[in-house]
Every structure is written in C-alpha cells, then in structure tokens.
Amino acid sequence: MSTGMQSTEQKFQFPREVVLEALKVVLPSIGIQPKNVDMFIGRIEASAGASAFSWGERISIVVDEVDPGNCVARIESSLKVGGNFTGSGRHHKNFSSIIFALSEYLQQAENGELKTNRQLLDEQISRSSGASSGVTSMLWICIALAVASYFVFT
C-alpha cells in the first residue's frame, strides 16, 4: 500500500447538491481549506495544512449521484511531500474527519437543528447584551457603595 496517496468513499442518503453545499461549510470547520469548488461536475479540491508529521495534504472530493436522493462521496488524500512516511496516517484522519463532520452536519440539517446566520447573530447579541447588562448592574452597585461609603465615613 502506498503511503503517498489513499482514497475512500462514503454513500449519503442526500442529493448530490446538498452534500456539496454541506462540504463547503464543513471543510473549513475541520481545518481543511477548499481551493477549487466546481458545483457543476461535483468536485472540490482542498488543502490541509502542515502538522508535526506531515507537510500537508492535497484532498480531492468528487460527489456523484448514484440514484435520485442518494450520492457517493469519493475522497482522495495525497501528501504534498510524497516521501514522508510519518505523514501516511494523515489520510485516515482526513477521511474520518470529513465523513463524520459531514454526517453530523447533514443529520442536524435533517432534524432542523441548523441555525441560519441571522439566528446565530441574534443569539450572540442577546448573550452579549445580557452579559453587558450584568456588568452595568455591577458597575451601578459599585458606584452606589462608593457614594454611600463616602457619606458614611466623611
């Protein structure tokens, strides 16, 4: 078995376009940067950065429809520096990361658990405004104590 390049495939019970769109979201979240995305032919070229054991990997993902509503994602991972035997385990890590993150994302989408950017922004604003109102309250309490202690001790 060659250590320079390996491939795997995984079937998904989702249309090809849904899986491709999900990959565009999932890949950056797991540290893999898409370089070229061709939605027409269903191909994504990506790059994983260097690590302690590898100079990085080139990743190609091709998503093909096998029948209506089902597709298969074929993933190929190759080392950027081919003679690097310590980096050969990175292929399996790339495959596992992509497949499991994609599966989790698609399951959340199917269950309606994914939130739009607007929903996430609203949550962040409400959390930050709640935190800032707590800080504001603490500030007013400190000011009130300072004023009260000024009058008591003077």
Dump pLDDT digits (tens) for 43-91: 999 988 776 556 678 999 999 999 999 999 999 988 876 655 555 567 7
Q: How far apart are CA 60 and CA 78, in angstroms?
A: 9
pLDDT of residue 146 exceeding 70:
yes
Q: Which of the residue ranges 29-33, 83-87, 102-106 would you say has the lowest mean pLDDT? A: 83-87
Inter-residue contact 43 to 34 (CB < 8 Å)? no
Per DSSP bridges, beta strands 70-79 and 57-67 are antiparallel
Residue-level pLDDT at 89: 67
Q: Which of the residue ranges 10-14, 19-23, 82-86 would you say has the lowest mean pLDDT? A: 82-86
Inter-residue contact 62 to 73 (CB < 8 Å)? yes
DSSP state of 85: G
Q: Residues 78-82: contacts with CB within 8 Å, 24+ apart? A: 78/4, 78/5, 78/6, 79/3, 79/4, 79/5, 79/54, 79/55, 80/54, 80/55, 80/56, 81/54, 81/55, 82/4
